[in-house]
Amino acid sequence: MNIRFKPKVFSSLFYLVFCITSISFGQSDPTGERRVTGTFAITNATVTIAPGKTQQGATIIIKNGLIEAIGSNLRIPIDAQTIKGDSLFVYPGFIDGATSIGVLRPNDPERPANFDPSNPPDEFAGITPWRSVLDHYDIKNSQINDWRKVGFTVAQIVPEGGMLPGKSAIVTYGGKESNNILAKNTALAARFRSTGGGRGMYPGTQLGIMAKFRDLYKNAELSSQHMRLFASNSGLSRPEINKTLEAFFPVLDKSIPVLYEVSNDLELRRAVMLQKENGFRLVVAGITDMDFALDAIKSSNAQVLVSFRLPNDKTANSNTEGLSDEMKARTQKVKDAYIQILGEAGKLEAAGIPFGFTSLGGRSNEMYKNIRLMIANGLSENAALAALTINNANILGIQKFAGTLEKGKLANMVISTAPLFAEEAQIKYVVADGYVFEYEVNNKKSNNNGNGKAVDLSGIWDYTSDTPAGSSGGTMEIKRDGTSYKGTISYDNPSGSGKASSPMNNIILSGNNLSFTFNVSAGGMSLEVSVSGEITDGDFSGSMSLSEFGSFPFNAVKKPNHLNQ
Amino acid sequence: MKDMKKLLYSLILALLPILVQAQFDGEFVKPRTGKFLLQNATVVTVTKGNIENGSVLIENGKILAVGKNIQANDAEVIDCSGQFIYPGMMDAGSRLGLVEVNSLPETQDYAEIGQVTPNMQALVAVNPNSVAIPVTRVSGVTTTLAVPSGGLFPGTAALINLNGYTPDQMYAGFKGVVLNFPSSARRSTWDRRSDEDIKKEAEAAQKTLNEIWGRAETYHQLQKAKAELQYYPEMEQLSKVVAGELPLLVEVNAATDILSAIEWIQSKNAKAILMGVAEGWRVADKIAAAGLPVIVGPMLSIPTRQSDRYDAAYTNPGKMAKAGVKVVIRSNDAENTRNLPFNAGFAAAYGMGKEEALKAITINAAEVFGVADKMGSIEVGKDATLFVSTGDPFETKSQILHVFIDGYRVPMSSRHIKLYQEFLERSPGLEKN
Amino acid sequence: MKMIKYILSAFLILGCFVTIAQTQKGSVLIKNATVLTVTNGTLENTDVLVENGIIKRIGKNLNASNIQCIDGTGKYLMPGIIDAHSHVALDAVNEATAPITSEVKMGDVVNPYDIGIYRALAGGVTISHAMHGSANAIGGQNITLKHRYGTSNPEDLHMKDAPRTIKFALGENPTRVHGRGNGIQPRTRMGVDAVIRNGFNEAIQYKKAWADYENAQKQKGAKPVPPKYDSRLATLADVLDGKIIIHCHSYRADEIYALINTCREFGIKNIVFSHVNEGFKVAPELAEYTMGASVFADWWAYKFEVYYSTAYNAAILMENGVITSINSDSGELIRHLYHEAGKAQRYGQLDDDQTLALITINPAKQLGIADKVGSIEEGKQADLVLFDGHPLSVYAIPQMTFVDGVKYFDINEDPDDMRLKVSASEALEPIFLREHEHRCMHGVDFFFTNFGRNLFNHTH
């Protein structure tokens, strides 16, 4: 059976949610589900306040849904429930730049008998910018739990429908006692898809959609001009009130952006084209191949929400043995395209564009895996975290109360058992809107290299790397520095003969996974090289990513330690 | 009823004087047979080299003599000084005659309903009066294989000459049963099936094919054993293929499919000709090793894959010929079957060479269809199916001057030419008086 | 260290990409070729010097320092081939939802990754007119493209100095899509004519409303209310003002004649008829009142309205003084327009210059760019093709193709796989078989089956 929510039924359900909070006043909770206290203390944790800013052994006090304090040696309030943060890592709660989770698609209205498909009323044509997504939102959608479970605490919800489906809103993934709405009418949603309401209805393709957008925009401007004239003059014809055009008014005065959902670089360019012609604020969402359109992003100052959807590696299991050279080359092209997609987010970072992540097109159970792949291919962990937190707060305009862990901000956080993007990291708690959600954690192996022994990086490693220019190599000298590592890497001198060396930065060892970066300078230019991979029995096997230029094999062998001493 | 007939009869009688008196301009030129001597041409025999200042004598539909200094006092002499005589060009795959106007289903007689319809006879549906037939034959394309299309076994193709008023007058002595070999390729970008689904569907189609073939073999064995079988025209026709009386024309294009088809043909020990073979160049040595002839074309088509070199379709026949495959070229067209020589021209330019390309639309076709005793070259005793041109017929500049089919001199006219004659200088022009 | 060298070369490559992004202009000297100028006959053993994208000099024994020199001995140099009717490099072709869609712009949906662009270059085509489909009586605004393959920015392909053009369509396609498909006008050729007249008349009213508003604004103290904006009518007003050239899909003589009359009535002179299979029947009218006819070399009988056509069409039109071009309307034919033009020698025996004009200067005239391209003349843009033989021979193979003096195709240097963007999600690359391609070539039904690659983007 096909069950569909009718908008009316839904809004009454929604009303019910409001009622629950009000009628529960003066009532006990016979379900026993209500929490005992809203005050929490997370003690002695490693707290990443914002990307790149980490504090060890810190305590966080949460009260009334807000972060009351962060620091060491804090007095724990008497009504606080304590969460022992020893060996836990706390991050700001994630913000989903745009999502359709929980959003319902309004039913298409029934066509009248004299329906003219070449000139349909706006509602039929997918032009419903006056709609609020909140009227078509199911806060109880079970998928919301899946997304909170991976760390999301705030999301911008985008309406479903046609080319202009409505206005988006911002919600939290907090407790069920609240309606969880943070802001409404936050952006005008737009896309290059028609309604799907049947072939032969205008506008039916991107051609018509772009033309229709231009006409609506221009007429919204004229309509607003007419209204202003009418308000201050007499003897003028009365303006026709048109809810479609009115819905554009906050876009015209730039109080909200147009959130354009795009599926590839060419659609991104089309959104930018419209933006340049009309001058609105633009956010593009859902892209994965943006570096084909970096120039357009830069020239328009569009804000970018990147989908963490990634294709599967189609060539991973293909056996190229026995294939003709031609087929091998073809397989390699698919492989290269795959590697390129993995490096897209890194390239955006390298280009200095502060992007956010969106769950559009992605699946919650693939998020960490995909972001780790992006990190292995050039994205820094800080940028990855920023894309989930502060960048999205900025793009959504909620940085005053979300995006970082600071006193006075909403109590939204993600608490994991290991550094966030480490392979073995598991989410133990998510705090959303001051509500604490606890998750089961499996006991995985950690910090060993398969035979129970912890990996020790310190020592001298010989490495080789393969680029299209040939094979080369050098040494890495790594020393322990308290709980972390320091090191230098040598390589052939780019501007002369012999070897040159650079310090190794951001050395991160989590489990068997090692990653680090180093900078190479030549001819007045500097390039960051990032290396990541896995250690098995003293052998490091991974890849080296040169931001724009792709990713190449990088293998290293540690010299036996007694030789080093 | 009788009265009605009477009435009609008397009406016709009354009208007869008027009809007789009616005036007709010009005279309709019909194809005519006789004894013709084509003199002083370069005779491109295809099989026996070129004869400079040569002549060809035609009588009773046959080539009576070929060579220098041929005399025949009773023959109608056609002076061909400075001109060339070629054997009629054979298009080994076309819909000509099976369709009149391609967008009108009423005129589409090439695809029947059903997956297994080998009993559908293309020859039955050939329209001898199709407007496109004269349009085609004045280009020197004299013979085409009329190919049905559609399901797994869409029907039986037939070789026809482009002159005659009944299919039987046109029939040129070859038939073959078409098999659209199951494909494991992704068909264009609109094919949104997953890689796995494509594989599964191909396997299922392959299984179906084997089951049907198994049934045909059973039918054939029981028939041989003189069992009384229920009426089953599909298997009746397929059993002729099993028996080797009719060859299979196997339409197959993707490289992997070609390999599967070769394996399948060998496992069934079937007499087969490969058709389409768009990616034949990828597996040319395998086709050559299997000893299967191919009917390839058109050359004037886009490469099968976006990653292919832009000229992949142009170079395909040349690459296969070099690998030792016997190559025949088709247009796979209908109303523009006249483009066959240009397809051969592109094949020639892109690696096949002029001589091989000419063979691919003459003697190779005749040999593959088993009619080389009658067609495909200019030799004494063969059917007088040939044409005279001002030059290389692959060149667009060359004009085709005379066409003979089975000894009939066909009029060098068609609707296209008549419209040219009428409208080159229209009267009235822009102003009426 | 080789790795670092690679990094450095990567920097260099990056630098190149940046320059390519600003539509590159090249310099080259082609020596000792047979130069088919088209407008000034054939020049044997002649050199052509290109500087910064422009043909600087044509003559003998030319020299230039620091410029790449190409030996043209034994080769034929002709102007870049121009296709006046194409759908290559478009993500969408038909906004088939309304009988008039003059507001839509093909420039919005250019896809620079289309391999069809490169294949066209390999056939010597340097400019194509990327058109809206023929579903509507008045379709969208087309875009003239220069085949600067290799960019990811669609705008790099736009020929920015080409005038605006718009697609019209008559006959079976608009009447099927709207009349029989959607139950709205037009269902007949009467209706097509009426719909076009409606559009023109509404545009006149629209233009007047805005003119009135603008005039009122000039009055002191006046506070006029702006009329509604309508880019559909605004575009048609530009058509009426002669700012936009009409390229009209048409087949039958009656419908061609009817639109000639309508245009004369509205004072429109800038109109080219496209396909125009029965153009030969109204050749004197086309010669007198229009910018000509862009025809197929030999297509016919794929639908009823082209049943009474003739391959001699181009020759009859040319001999009657109609500006005539041969177009492709297909991702396949565009690759050998030189051969398609050659068919006008088989069917009507046009001479070489007449025949070459069909694919060079004449389509340039029809696109309003004949002062810039379409022949080899000093001062024109250096769009050139070098053939190994005379381009009207079936055996001639294009060797190099230049746009603005930049070489975009070289038969000896280009790798086989010229895709710019490869899908990472499909290991099984799609295969394009003649069967599908044939069906769309003979695009009976533009609405359901668009030409070329665009067919495959639309489900049926």
pLDDT of residue B413: 96
The shortest C-alpha distance from B394 to chain C (Å) reads 7
Query: Which chain C positions have a beta carbon within 8 Å of A207's beta carbon?
Result: 92, 94-95, 101, 104-106, 108-109, 132, 140
Q: Say whether pLDDT at C459 is over 50.
A: no
C109 touches chain B (CB under 8 A): no
Shared-domain flag, residues A465 and A435: no
Rounded to 5°, the CA angle C51-C56-C57 comes to: 130
- Please report the pLDDT score of residue A506 as a whole number: 79
Asked if A331 is an interface residue toward chain C (Cβ–Cβ < 8 A), one would say yes
Q: What pLDDT does residue A564 have?
A: 38
pLDDT score for A410: 97
Angle of helix C337-346 relative to helix B340-347, nearest 10 degrees, comes to: 130
Q: Which residues of B touch C457 (CB under 8 A)?
A: 189-190
pLDDT of residue C1: 42
Chains with ≥3 CB–CB distances under 8 Å to A: B, C
pLDDT of A470 reads: 66
Higher pLDDT, A496 or B307: B307
Cα distances (Å, whole numbers) of residue B359 to B333, B342, C418: 20, 14, 34
Give the integer Cα–Cα distance in Å for C78 and C70.
Answer: 15
Work out the angle between the directed axes of helices A206-232 and A265-278 (0-180°, nearest 10): 20
Indicate yes or no: CB of B304 within 8 angstroms of CB of C283. Answer: no
Taking residue A69's Cβ as centre, other Cβ atoms within 10 Å add up to: 18
Answer for the pair B177, B273: CB distance below 8 angstroms, yes or no. no
C386-424: per-residue pLDDT in tens? 999 999 999 999 999 999 999 999 999 999 999 999 988
Is the Cβ pair A204, C95 closer than 8 Å? yes
The answer to whether the Cβ–Cβ distance between B282 and A326 falls below 8 Å is yes
Q: Average pLDDT, whole number, for chain C?
A: 90
- Determine the average pLDDT of the residues in C90-106: 95
Tell me if A289 is assigned to some domain. no
Contacts of C436 in chain B (CB under 8 A): 187-188
Contact of A330 with chain B, judged by CB distance below 8 Å, is answered with: yes
Instruction: Tell me whether residues A333 and B307 touch, CB distance under 8 A.
Output: yes
**Residue A547 pLDDT > 60, yes or no?**
no
Nearest CA distance, B104 vs chain C (angstrom)? 7
d(CA A350, CA A527): 10
Q: Is A427 helix (H, G, I), strand (E, B) or coil?
A: strand
Query: Quick check: is A69 in a domain?
Result: yes
Omega before residue B428 within 30° of 0, cis: yes
Q: Residues B229-262: pLDDT tens digits?
A: 999 999 999 999 999 999 999 999 999 999 999 9
The number of domains in chain A is 2
Rounded CA gap, A359 and A148, in Å?
A: 12
Residue ranges of E strands in A158-245: 166-172, 181-191
Q: Which tokens hold the place of B12?
A: 């016709």
User: So what's the pLDDT on residue B33?
Assistant: 96
- Whether A3 maps to a domain, the answer reads no
- On whether any CB of chain C is under 8 Å from the CB of A113, the answer is no
Domain that holds residue A440: 35-93+403-444
Chain C's closest residue to A125, CA to CA, is C97
Comparing alpha-carbon positions, the chain A residue that sits nearest to B306 is A330
Mean pLDDT of all residues in C82-99: 95
Give mean pLDDT, residues A119-143. Answer: 93
pLDDT for B7 equals 58
Structure tokens belonging to residue B230:
């229920």
Question: Chain A residues with CB inside 8 Å of C152's CB?
Answer: 265, 292-293
Q: How confident is the model at residue C10, as a pLDDT?
A: 45
CB atoms B101 and C302 under 8 Å: yes
- Amino acid occupying residue B261: A
> Do A546 and A472 belong together in one domain?
yes
**In terms of pLDDT, which residue wins out, C153 or A545?**
C153
Verify cis geometry, omega within 30 degrees of 0, for the bond prior to A51: no
Q: Does B311 touch chain C (CB under 8 A)?
A: yes
| B194 contacts chain C (CB < 8 A) | no
Least-confidence region, from A148-152, A438-442, C155-159: A438-442
Same domain, A409 and A463: no
Last residue of a domain, one of A444, A473, A502: A444
The CATH 3.20.20.140 portion of chain B extends over 89-375
In this prediction, residue C315 carries a pLDDT of 98
Contact B307 A324 (CB under 8 A): no
CATH code of the domain occupying B89-375: 3.20.20.140
Percent of chain C at pLDDT > 90 equals 84
Distance CA B116, CA B118 (A): 6
Write out the two tokens for C106: 């093909």
Q: Categorize the per-residue pLDDT at C74 as very low, low, confident or very high, splitting at 50, 70 and 90.
A: very high
pLDDT for residue C381: 98
List, in order of start, the domains of chain C with CATH numbers. 1-80+374-421 (2.30.40.10), 81-372 (3.20.20.140)
Hey, is the C-beta of A338 within 8 angstroms of any chain C C-beta? yes
pLDDT at C449 over 90: no
The mean per-residue pLDDT over the stretch C320-330 comes to: 97
Do A418 and A491 have their domain in common?
no
Shortest Cα distance, chain A CAs vs residue B253, angstroms: 17
Q: Select from A207, A277, A295, A530 the residue whose CB has the most chain C CBs within 10 Å, as the one to mutate to test that interface.
A: A207
Q: Report CB contact under 8 Å: A266, C111.
A: yes
Scanning the structure block, which residue is given the tokens 């490969």?
Answer: B274
pLDDT bracket for residue C310 (50, 70, 90): very high
pLDDT above 70: residue C17: no
Higher pLDDT, A96 or A316: A96
Tell me what the mean pLDDT of segment B404-426 comes to. Answer: 97
Would A217 be classed as within a structural domain? no
Residue A382 confidence class, pLDDT cut points 50, 70, 90:
very high
Quick: pLDDT tens for A515-524: 888 887 765 5
Q: ipTM of this complex > 0.90?
A: yes
pLDDT-based confidence at residue B134 (cuts at 50, 70, 90): very high
C2–A233 CB contact, under 8 Å: no
CB-CB under 8 Å, B100 with C301:
yes
| Rg of chain B taking only CA atoms, in angstroms | 24
pLDDT, residue A9, reads 35
Is residue B172 a contact partner of residue B160, using CB atoms and an 8 Å limit? Answer: yes
What does the mean pLDDT of chain A come to? Answer: 86
Q: Model confidence over A332-362: pLDDT tens digits?
A: 899 999 999 999 999 999 999 999 999 999 9
User: What was the pLDDT predicted at A448?
Assistant: 43
Predicted pLDDT at C171:
96
Q: From the CA of B56, how many Å to the nearest CA of chain C? A: 25
- B101-105, B216-220, B235-239, C53-57: which has the minimum mean pLDDT? B101-105
**Average pLDDT of span C348-366:** 98
Q: From B195, which residue of chain A is nearest by alpha-carbon distance?
A: A314
At residue B95, does pLDDT exceed 70?
A: yes
Which of the pair, A456 or B204, is modelled with greater confidence?
A: B204
CATH topology of domain B34-88+376-433: Urease, subunit C; domain 1 (2.30.40)
pLDDT average, residue stretch B306-312: 95
Question: Is residue A325 within 8 angstroms of chain B, CB to CB?
Answer: no
Model pLDDT, residue A411: 97
- Please say which residue of A393, A418, A444 terminates a domain: A444
* pLDDT score recorded for residue B222: 97
Last residue of a domain, one of A414, A444, A474: A444
pLDDT(A409) > 50: yes
Q: Where are the alpha helices (DSSP H) in B272-414?
A: 284-290, 312-322, 340-347, 354-360, 363-368
**Residue A484: CATH number of its domain:** 2.40.128.120
User: Between chains, do C228 and A219 touch, taking CB under 8 Å as contact?
Assistant: yes
Residue C5 confidence (pLDDT) above 80:
no
Token output for B246 = 């009719």
Interface of C with A in 94-113 (CB under 8 A): 94-99, 101, 103-106, 108-109, 111
